[in-house]
Amino acid sequence: MLGKLEEEVLLAALQAGDGALPSEIYARMEAASAPARKVVAFGAVYTTLGRMAAKGLLTEKNRADGANRIRRTFTVSALGSRALAESMNRIRALGGFALAGAAHG
Amino acid sequence: MASDRGGGTSQSCSGPSTGLVPSWAEDPNPADPDPILPANLDRAIVGQGDVTEAGALDGLARLKHLSQKEALDSKAILLVLLAVAVVRASRKSRSTAAYRPSFILDMLVPYDRAQDMHANLAELYPVWVSRHGARRAEWIHRTQVALLIGGTWWEKLLSTGERLLKVARLIGS
């Protein structure tokens, strides 16, 4: 079962695409959050990415950037996609999406 | 030098100098009919290396050839002080907008991981500066560095604990 932050990180990583940098994933999370809402810290997201890669929810690869620095990139694994789908299904079964639609509408 | 640019001398003052009135204020020149406008304030202080209240007032006086009465007008002085504050803030913002890698991060985190963290923070730093300003961005950066260091060590602690737990379970079974 995924935590709330893990869910958000997986969704942002899916949006960012394959081989996304932590800063790209974080930027997507920041952009998606409401202006008044406190955004989760980058340090927490970075640590979560590492933990999720260790669990197998994300696959981690290293690549060198323009400045010859080794950058960690993350891609959502099959296990991560399944876990996310299960989590979304659970939310849908409990009427979470309908509630979100009602709140916005 | 200020009196040369002002176009007059302090001899035109009616009373003796008390020392409380700046030299530029003792140089009235009623020939300039322009009112004191906020638009002129930036011109008054631009070009001065060290932006100070006294320097800005001096620059404004030279620019507008203010009389003693005009110069001591509280509205004009308030506007000058406001302009100085704005210029100082913008200069400070520009000077601190560049990302500075944290030495502590290099010290407490493995090299390759620290490089990756620096690269990510350098990408996010301009976003924080544009969104929150340079000073707040600097604090956010410091907080993130602390979180990253804490997270790295916490991760290590957790993985070590998990390993120990596995070993203990193996021994127990």
Q: What is the tens place of the pLDDT at every residue in B16-64?
A: 444 444 444 444 444 444 444 444 444 454 444 555 666 666 666 666 6
Using H for helix, E for strand and C for coil, what is the string for B63-97? HHCCCHHHHCCHHHHHHHHHHHHHHHHHHHHHHHC
Q: Which residues of A touch B126 (CB under 8 A)?
A: none
Q: What's the whole-model pTM score?
A: 0.62
From the list B34, B14, B37, B40, the residue with the least C-alpha distance to B26 is: B14
From CA A48, how far away is CA A45, in angstroms rounded? 5
CB B100, CB A2: distance < 8 Å: no
**pLDDT number for residue B91:** 60
Please answer yes or no on whether B144 and A65 come within 8 Å at the CB atom: no
CA distances from B168 to B138, B154, B164, B165 (A): 45, 21, 6, 5
**pLDDT number for residue B134:** 87
ipTM at complex level: 0.85
From CA A53, how far away is CA A48, in angstroms rounded? 8
Tokens linked to A16: 């960012």
CA distances from A69 to A74, B79, B100 (A): 16, 49, 16
Tell me the pLDDT tens digit for each residue of B67-91: 656 655 656 666 777 777 777 666 6
Is residue B129 pLDDT above 50, yes or no? Answer: yes
Closest-CA residue of chain B to A46:
B148
Residue pointed to by tokens 């050839």? B65
B153: which residues sit within 8 A by CB, 6+ positions away? Answer: B108
Please answer yes or no on whether B119 and A71 come within 8 Å at the CB atom: yes
User: For B87-90, which contacts have Cβ atoms below 8 Å and span 24 or more sequence positions?
Assistant: B87/B42, B87/B45, B87/B51, B88/B51
Residues facing residue A74 across a β-bridge? A20, A60
- Interface residue of B109, B115, B139, B143 to substitute, partner A, most A CBs within 10 Å: B115
Closest-CA residue of chain A to B148:
A43
Facing B155 at nearest CB: one of A42, A50, A67: A50
> pLDDT averaged over chain B?
70
From CA B18, how far away is CA B101, in angstroms rounded? 52
**pLDDT number for residue B30:** 45
**pLDDT number for residue B11:** 40
From CA B105, how far away is CA B99, in angstroms rounded? 14
**pLDDT number for residue B54:** 66
A66: which residues sit within 8 A by CB, 6+ positions away? Answer: none
Please answer yes or no on whether B147 and A43 come within 8 Å at the CB atom: yes
Tell me the pLDDT tens digit for each residue of A46-99: 999 999 999 999 999 999 888 888 899 999 999 999 999 999 999 889 888 887
B99: which residues sit within 8 A by CB, 6+ positions away? Answer: B121, B122, B125, B126, B141
From the list B16, B32, B26, the residue with the least C-alpha distance to B72 is: B26
Chains A, B: CB contacts under 8 A, how many?
62
